[in-house]
Amino acid sequence: MIFWIIVLVCLGGLAWIRLAPSDPAKWNVDPMVTADQDLANGVRRRIEGGEATMTALERIILATPRTELLVDDTADNRETFVTRSLWMGFPDYTTLQLDGDQVEIYARSRFGQSDMGVNKQRVERWLAELPQAAD
């Protein structure tokens, strides 16, 4: 009996991770990038480039598996995307904001104290693809 209770609790937790709603007001926030930062559960980056760079980066992000647009806030030149992990469906949020001739990027995980470098790797992969996409 205890075994089945543990199984049900685990399945309930997994269902919550996959099905929990994403509140745009909580996740579509100003990236506040003052300098490149590697965080325990994410990363902040600021790159040179204007609207064309932002558009190219949007295309690269949306081509990433299990990624969708959560918010397109044209008034603030800001967009937030959700990328889910393959097996467990953990959501990671990435916010882009156009600030003059720079694009600010803030990628972070929703659950846990550490993302084990996943967001940093993903953002670096996107940035590595950027010159090819902008050509």
pLDDT of residue 79: 97
Q: How far apart are the first and last CA of the chain?
A: 61
What does residue 79 show for φ and ψ, rounded to 5 degrees?
Answer: -135, 145
pLDDT of residue 133: 43
pLDDT of residue 109: 95
Q: Where are the domains of the chain?
A: 22-134
Question: How much is the pTM?
Answer: 0.87
Q: Which CATH architecture has domain 22-134?
A: 2-Layer Sandwich (3.30)
Mean per-residue pLDDT, 29-51: 93
Higher-confidence position of 49 and 133: 49
- Chain segment 96-123, per-residue pLDDT in tens: 999 999 999 999 999 888 888 999 999 9
The 3-state DSSP class for residue 8 equals helix
pLDDT of residue 92: 96
The 3-state DSSP class for residue 42 equals strand
Q: What average pLDDT is seen over the chain?
A: 91
Task: Indicate the DSSP class of residue 53.
Answer: H
- Chain segment 43-82, per-residue pLDDT in tens: 999 999 999 999 999 999 999 999 999 999 988 999 999 9
pLDDT of residue 27: 94
DSSP per-residue string spanning 15-28: HHHHH----HHHHS
Query: Which of the four pLDDT bands, split at 50, 70 and 90, describes residue 135?
Result: very low
- Rounded Cα distance between 99 and 46, Å, is 9
